[in-house]
Structure 1
């Protein structure tokens, strides 16, 4: 399969942390990484480096291996509610913000997995960030869904259930809507559902993309863990 054009999403997602890769490997922007270390510590820098290593190491891996590697990588991070972590009721973090601050809520897990898989060559048409109702928790939740084709039963990448499972086996999740950079869909249990417009209709998505494109630094206070 032809490798997708590199740089489109990674340049956004890494938010100027990385210079173009050198012949002998990734070249890091030392000033940007130093700023992360000063604010969040050496462990934050290592998480960002590990992320870049994941992207580069798994470029030629089989598709399912990529999905599993990305799902496992981000599911190691702790869940922290936005009001505790970002001092806001709802904030969609960039992947760098999520990694540097060592945690986030369900939207941050799904978004980070989405952009990482795009950079690893998974077609955008097969990935949808999906808003669901988590039945057992009786609350809104967000996951990433992978579709082998538009009518397929998707694989669900979720921070609540560590292993990937087909959507048909996730009776605990009720899909509501899904989106990616190409559009917005009203969801159904199987297949992509009905397209109802573009993802620009979602203000939080637009805010996220603006911060990534403008390469703005994390706007949140220093990370605090939940009591």
Structure 2
């Protein structure tokens, strides 16, 4: 018998309220973009328009629209090249400024843009995974969408352009996940490091994104 697909719904490990959410403010997003210069304003306007269009669509279409938006506009680039740091979590505006990001930046931009478009954050999880590529197991991050608790999630990823059910992403092994609601331990056997250490980056990012008007 074939091995059943890995369960992607993750058992709660630790409920950590991070920062209280505020309303998305398109005007503030554009103001924050203007502080970065005309090139970022152009990109931010396109994002605000995408968020507005997506907000009128069914959630599945919102996922596809936002996934395509960032997959098409950002080039993959390591943080060491973009920021001169081993690990940096960029806000959506920072990524649009650089027109580049690593896997975490793609997932971050999609998470906060979908939240701005009206997708409840309880349905979204940033998921650390091990991705199998060319015989190697690599640390990677994706965004998962759960239509309801316990449902099989859909995966938004920069490695593959399609929004796919988790059962069709057998190349990914989940390790742990988090969102603005808390932190969860995955079903994977391979550690990705200390989740709490990673969470400090998330706290800093949420504060930055909130100041830019996305929350």
Quickly name the TM-score band, shorter chain normalised. 0.7 to 0.9
| CA distance in 2 between partners of 1:142 and 1:181 (Å) | 16
Question: Following the alignment from structure 1 to structure 2, what is the Cα–Cα distance between the partners of residues 199 and 126?
Answer: 21
**In structure 1, what is the Cα distance between the partners aligned to 2:23 and 2:144?**
18
Q: What does residue 207 of structure 1 align with?
A: 204
What is the RMSD computed on CA atoms of the aligned residues? 2.3
Alignment CA distance shift 1:90-1:15 (3 Å): farther
Quick check: 1:15–1:96 contact (8 Å CA) kept in 2? no
Partner of 1:156: 155
Q: What is residue 83 of structure 1 aligned with on the other side?
A: 80
Structure 2 residue 59 is the aligned partner of structure 1 residue 60: no
Q: Aligned pair count?
A: 183
Q: Look up the match of 1:133.
A: 130
* 1:43-67 deviation digits (Å, cap 9, x = unpaired): 4321111000001122111111111
- Give the match's secondary structure for 1:177: strand
**Structure 1 stretches lacking a partner, 5+ long:** 1-6, 19-28, 190-197, 216-227
Equivalent residues of 2:34, 2:40 under 8 A apart? no
Alpha-carbon distance, 1:212 to partner:
3.0
Relative distance call for 1:199 and 1:214 in structure 2 (3 A) is: farther
Shift of 1:171: 0.9
1:184-195 alignment, distance < 5 Å: 184-188=183-187
Per the normalisation by structure 2, the TM-score is: 0.77
TM-score of the aligned structures, taking structure 1 as reference length: 0.74
Gaps of 5+ in 2: 1-20, 189-194
Secondary structure at the aligned position of 2:101 is classed as coil
Q: Deviations over 1:193-212 (max 9, x none)?
A: xxxxx989711101212323
Higher relative contact order, structure no. (Cα contacts within 8 Å, ≥ 6 residues apart): 2
Moved over 4 A (4+): 198-201
Tell me, yes or no, if the aligned pair for 1:132 and 1:173 is still in contact at 8 Å: yes
Shift of 1:15: 9.5
Q: Distance in 2 between matches of 1:51 and 1:88?
A: 26
Moved more, 77-86 or 145-154: 145-154
User: In structure 2, the residue corresponding to 1:10 is in which secondary structure?
Assistant: coil
